[in-house]
C-alpha cells in the first residue's frame, strides 16, 4: 500500500519523512507530531525498497521503540522484520556480546543491574575498611550515584560533588577510592554495569576499524529519538556509527533538554549541524496539543534563551481566553487559591485532566494538606507524597507524642535513631513508662543518653506553649541533628520539605486539628492514572504528558528557578527549558501562580519575593493578570509590563535601603550590558551584575544567595 503523505502529514513533517539521504536534524517543538514523523519515515524507507535490516532506530525506552515499529508496520500493512530498534544500552549490549573478546572478556561477561552495582560498592567499601562505625557514612546507593554521575557527565567526582552534593565533601577521598575499587572489582570478576555498556562500545568502535566499517555498512539509515537527552558518550557512538557519510536523522527539541542531572548534554543537539557537515535542518512548529494563546506565551519564554534553534509554535486550535498569571499575597494563601482553581476547573474537566506542576516535590506539601482536608483525591508523580516522606513522619511522631504519650507507633518511630533500641526494647520501655517501672526506666536512661534527651524534650514540650508553630519549631530544633545523622546522604533536600511543614503549621491554632489534617491520607497511588483525581507532578515527571488544564505554582526566584540554578548560567538556561516544558503540557487552560511572599521559619514572618525572571519577561499581551485582594478574592489587574513585583514592593536588602525607598534616586546613565561587571554589597559580598533594570537598580547574582535587585547606591562597583 502507498503512504498518504498529503493527508497524514503537514509540510514540515513530509519534508522530514521524504528526506532520506544525508544528515538531518528535526527540531520537533512540543506537541508537533514527533513520533508520527519518525514512524512515517520508517515506513517510507521500507516502501522505497530499503532493507529493514539496514535501519537502526535508537530510543530512550524499549516501549517507545516497540510502539514506533508497530505503528510503522500498521502503515505498511506488513511486518517489519529485521529492523534494529531499541535503546542505546540494548544496542550496546548486543554488540558487545558478539565482540566480548575484543573488550577483554574472552570468556564473556555478566551485566549487573542497579542492585548488583550497589552491592559491589558496599563490598568494596567494606574491603577498604571505610566508614566502619560512622553512621553518617554515605549509603551504597549514594556511592553508586556519585560514581555513575561522574561517568555520565564525564566530570571528576569532585566536580560533581561540588555542584550537586557539597555536604558529602568530607568523604570525597573515600568515594574516589571506592570508585577505583569498584572499577577494579568489575574487571576482576568480568562484570559490566549499564554505564560500561556505552563506554565499552564507544571505545570498541574507536579502536576496532573493521567492526566500525562493518556496522557503518550494515546500518545505512540511523534514526535517533529525543536527541536532546543524549549524553556525550551516546553522541560519540552515533557519530561513529554514522561515519563520514553521516546518514543519520536526529529528532529532538533543544528547548526540552531538562535532564542535565542525568548527564544529558544540550550541546549535542545544538552542535549537530557542525559535527555533521551539510545537515538539513527541519523545524516542526505546528502544535497539535495546545490552543494558540498558550503557545503565544511559551514562544515568549523561548525568546529569552541565549543558545537555541529559533522556533515559533503555532496551532489551528483557537481560544478567547488568555493564560492567567495569578498573584497570591503569600505562599500560605497560594494553596487555598489553587484549590479554588481546581474546583472551578473541575466543573469543566475531569479532575484527572487537571494538573498542578512544581519545580521540586516539597513545594506541593501545603497543597496536599489542603486537598486532603476538603476531600479532593489526588495522585502525585515525582518525589513522594507528603505523608509518605520518612523525615516528615519522624517529626510528626514527636508531635503525636506531645499530644498522646500512649501512641506506641509514634514511640517506635521516635526511638528509631537510638542505637541499640529496637522494636522489642521500645515495647519494654513503653510498658515500663506506663506501669511506673522507675527502676527499668532509670537503667535504660543511664544506658542510652539519647533516650534521656528525648524524654526530657517531650516533657518540656508538654509543659510549654501548645501553638502548633511553636511546638513544631522546638521539635525541628531537636530533630535537626537526628535528621543529619539519619539521612546523611540527602538531608539538605529533606530540610526543604520540613520548611514547608513550618509554613503549614503557621496556619493552625489547634494542635489536634493540625496533626489530624496531616495524618489523613488516602490509599496508596496506583501506577496508572486514577480516575477523577487531580494530578500533582514535578515538571520533570510531567515531560511527555498533557492535560486539559495546567497550574504551575511557586513561580518566584529561588523556587522556580531554584536557588542553586541561579548561580550558573547553563543551569539557569535549563530552568528556562523546564518552564517551557511545564507550560506546553497544557492543552486548553494555563494558570501561573506567583506568590508575593514566602514564609520564613527563622523569623516567623513572610519575606517578599521577586517573580520568576521567566514571568517578569512576559509581555502583558500574552496573559491576564489576577491579584489576590486582602479580602481573599481575585481581582483582574492590567498593567504595562512587569517592571517590579506587585503587590509586594521592591526588595530592599537592608534596613537602610528600606528607609531609602522614598528618597529620590540620582539619575545614572544606563550601563552597556556587554560591560556589566562585578560589584560588592555589604551583606551579600561580591556578585556579578546581570542586568540594569532602570537608572539606579541592578539585578546581581550573589554566589550562595542567588539573584537580587539592589539600588545602585548600596553597591560598590568593581
Neighbours of 422 (CB within 10 A): 12
Nearest to 228 by CA among 287, 136, 299, 308: 308
| Angle, helices 365-374/331-345, rounded to nearest 10 degrees | 50
* Gap between the Cα atoms of 430 and 441, Å rounded: 10
Which residues have CB under 8 Å from 682's CB, separation 6+?
654, 714
Instruction: Give the DSSP H or E segment for 589.
Output: strand 586-593
Bond into 561 cis (ω within 30) = yes
Any binding-site annotation on 603?
A: no
Q: What is the helix (H) or strand (E) element at residue 378, kind and residue range? A: strand 378-381
> Could you tell me the three cell numbers for 551?
497550574
> How many angstroms separate the CA atoms of 17 and 44, rounded?
7
Question: Is 31 marked as binding a ligand?
Answer: yes
Contact 312, 31 (CB under 8 A): no
The H or E element that residue 547 is part of is strand 547-552
- Which 3 state secondary structure label does DSSP give 404? coil
Burial 532-544 (b: 16+ CB within 10 A, else e): ebbbbbbbbbbbe
The region that residue 590 occupies, defined by phi over 0 for left and psi between -120 and 50 for alpha, beta otherwise, is beta
Inter-axis angle of helices 390-403 and 491-505, nearest 10: 40
DSSP string for residues in 241-276: HHTTTT-EEEEE-GGG---GGGT--THHHHTHHHHS
319 is in an annotated binding site: no
Is 486 annotated in a binding site? The answer is no
Helix (H, G, I), strand (E, B) or coil at 356: strand
- Going by C-alpha positions, the residue among 415, 504, 510 that lies closest to residue 457 is 415
421 Cβ neighbours under 8 A, 6+ residues apart: 415, 429, 448, 451
Q: Is 597 annotated as a binding residue?
A: no
- In this structure, what C-alpha cell is assigned to residue 438? 522507675
Q: How far is Cα 25 from Cα 695, in angstroms, rounded to an integer?
A: 44
Provide the strand spans (E) within 67-180.
84-87, 110-111
Sheet of strand 354-358, all strands in order from the earlier edge strand to the far edge: 378-381, 534-538, 354-358, 547-552, 586-593, 324-327, 624-628, 634-637
Cell of 679: 560589584
Task: Locate 450 and state its grid cell.
Answer: 539519647
The string of DSSP letters for 445-505 reads HHH-HHHHHHHHHHHHHHHS---HHHHHHHHHHHHHHHHHHH-TTTHHHHHHHHHHHHHHH
- Bridge partners, residue 598, by sequence: 607
Encode 72-102: b = buried (16+ Cβ within 10 Å), e = exposed.
bbebbeeebeebbbbbbbbbbbebbeeebeb
Any binding-site annotation on 29?
yes
Q: Would you tell me how many other CB atoms lie within 10 Å of the CB of residue 673? A: 10
632 is in an annotated binding site: no
* Residue 697 DSSP SS3: strand
How far is 357 from 246, CA to CA, in rounded Å? 40
Annotated binding-site residue? 410: no
Q: Which residues are annotated as a binding site for ATP?
A: 28-35
Q: Which residues are annotated as a binding site?
A: 28-35
Amino acid at each position: 500500500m502507498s503512504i498518504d503523505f498529503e493527508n497524514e502529514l503537514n509540510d514540515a513533517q513530509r519534508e522530514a519523512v521524504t528526506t532520506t539521504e544525508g544528515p538531518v536534524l528535526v527540531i520537533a517543538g512540543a506537541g508537533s507530531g514527533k513520533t508520527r514523523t519518525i514512524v512515517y519515515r520508517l515506513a517510507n524507507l521500507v516502501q522505497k525498497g530499503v532493507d529493514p535490516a539496514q535501519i537502526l532506530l535508537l530510543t530512550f525506552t524499549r516501549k517507545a521503540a516497540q510502539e514506533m515499529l508497530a505503528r510503522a508496520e500498521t502503515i505498511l500493512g506488513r511486518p517489519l522484520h529485521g529492523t534494529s530498534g531499541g535503546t542505546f544500552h540494548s544496542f550496546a549490549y548486543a554488540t558487545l556480546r558478539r565482540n566480548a573478546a575484543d573488550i577483554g572478556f574472552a570468556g564473556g561477561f555478566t551485566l549487573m543491574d542497579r542492585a548488583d552495582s550497589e552491592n559491589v560498592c558496599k563490598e568494596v567499601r567494606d574491603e577498604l575498611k571505610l566508614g566502619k562505625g560512622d553512621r553518617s557514612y554515605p549509603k551504597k546507593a549514594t556511592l553508586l550515584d556519585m560514581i555513575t554521575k561522574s561517568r555520565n557527565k564525564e566530570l571528576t567526582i569532585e566536580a560533581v560533588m561540588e555542584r550537586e552534593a557539597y555536604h558529602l565533601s568530607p568523604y570525597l577521598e573515600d568515594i574516589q577510592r571506592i570508585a577505583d575499587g569498584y572499577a577494579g572489582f568489575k574487571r576482576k570478576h568480568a562484570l559490566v554495569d549499564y554505564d560500561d555498556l556505552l563506554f565499552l562500545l564507544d571505545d570498541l568502535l574507536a579502536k576496532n576499524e573493521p567492526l566500525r566499517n562493518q556496522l557503518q555498512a550494515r546500518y545505512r539509515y540511523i534514526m535517533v529519538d529525543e536527541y536532546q537527552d543524549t549524553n556525550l558518550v551516546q553522541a560519540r557512538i552515533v557519530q561513529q556509527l554514522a561515519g563520514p557519510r553521516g546518514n543519520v536523522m536526529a529528532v529532538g527539541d533543544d528547548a526540552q533538554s531538562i535532564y542535565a542531572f542525568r548527564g544529558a548534554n544540550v550541546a549535542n543537539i545544538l552542535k549537530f549541524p557542525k559535527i555533521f557537515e551539510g545537515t538539513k535542518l527541519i523545524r516542526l512548529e505546528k502544535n497539535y496539543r495546545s490552543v494558540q494563546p498558550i503557545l503565544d506565551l511559551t514562544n515568549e519564554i523561548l525568546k529569552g534563551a541565549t543558545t537555541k534553534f529559533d522556533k515559533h509554535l503555532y496551532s489551528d486550535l483557537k481560544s478567547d481566553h488568555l493564560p492567567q498569571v495569578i498573584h497570591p499575597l503569600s505562599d500560605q494563601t497560594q494553596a487555598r487559591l489553587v484549590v479554588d482553581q481546581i474546583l472551578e476547573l473541575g466543573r469543566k474537566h475531569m479532575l484527572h485532566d487537571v494538573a498542578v506542576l512544581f519545580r521540586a516535590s516539597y513545594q506541593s506539601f501545603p497543597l496536599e494538606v489542603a486537598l486532603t482536608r476538603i476531600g479532593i483525591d489526588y495522585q502525585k508523580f515525582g518525589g513522594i507524597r507528603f505523608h509518605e516522606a520518612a523525615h516528615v513522619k519522624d517529626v510528626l511522631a514527636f508531635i503525636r507524642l506531645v499530644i498522646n504519650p500512649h501512641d506506641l507507633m509514634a514511640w517506635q518511630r521516635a526511638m528509631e535513631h537510638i542505637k541499640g533500641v529496637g522494636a522489642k526494647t521500645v515495647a519494654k520501655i513503653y510498658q515500663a513508662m506506663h506501669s511506673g517501672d522507675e527502676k527499668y526506666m532509670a537503667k535504660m536512661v543511664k544506658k542510652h543518653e539519647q533516650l534521656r534527651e528525648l524524654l526530657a524534650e517531650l516533657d518540656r514540650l508538654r509543659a510549654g506553649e501548645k501553638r502548633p508553630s511553636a511546638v513544631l519549631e522546638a521539635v525541628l530544633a531537636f530533630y535537626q541533628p537526628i535528621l543529619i545523622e539519619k539521612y546523611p546522604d540527602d538531608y539538605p533536600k529533606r530540610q526543604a520539605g520540613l520548611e514547608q511543614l513550618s509554613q503549614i503549621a503557621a496556619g493552625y491554632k489547634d494542635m489536634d486539628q493540625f496533626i489530624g489534617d496531616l495524618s489523613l491520607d488516602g490509599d496508596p497511588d496506583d501506577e496508572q492514572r486514577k480516575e477523577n483525581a487531580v494530578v500533582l507532578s514535578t515538571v520533570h515527571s510531567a515531560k511527555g504528558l498533557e492535560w486539559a488544564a495546567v497550574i504551575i505554582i511557586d513561580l518566584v526566584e529561588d523556587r522556580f528557578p531554584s536557588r542553586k540554578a541561579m548561580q550558573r548560567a547553563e543551569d539557569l538556561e535549563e530552568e528556562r527549558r523546564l518552564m517551557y516544558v511545564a507550560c506546553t503540557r497544557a492543552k486548553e487552560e494555563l494558570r501561573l501562580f506567583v506568590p508575593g511572599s514566602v514564609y520564613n521559619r527563622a523569623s516567623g514572618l513572610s519575606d517578599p519575593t521577586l517573580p520568576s525572571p521567566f514571568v517578569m519577561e512576559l509581555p502583558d499581551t500574552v496573559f491576564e493578570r489576577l491579584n489576590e485582594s486582602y479580602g481573599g478574592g481575585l481581582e483582574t489587574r492590567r498593567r504595562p509590563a512587569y517592571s517590579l513585583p506587585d503587590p509586594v514592593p521592591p526588595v530592599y536588602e537592608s534596613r537602610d535601603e528600606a528607609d531609602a525607598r522614598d528618597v529620590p534616586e540620582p539619575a545614572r546613565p544606563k550601563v552597556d550590558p556587554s560591560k556589566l561587571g562585578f560589584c560588592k554589597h555589604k551583606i551579600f559580598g561580591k556578585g556579578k551584575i546581570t542586568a540594569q533594570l532602570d537608572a539606579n537598580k541592578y539585578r546581581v547574582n550573589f554566589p550562595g544567595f542567588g539573584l537580587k535587585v539592589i539600588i545602585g547606591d548600596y553597591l560598590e562597583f568593581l
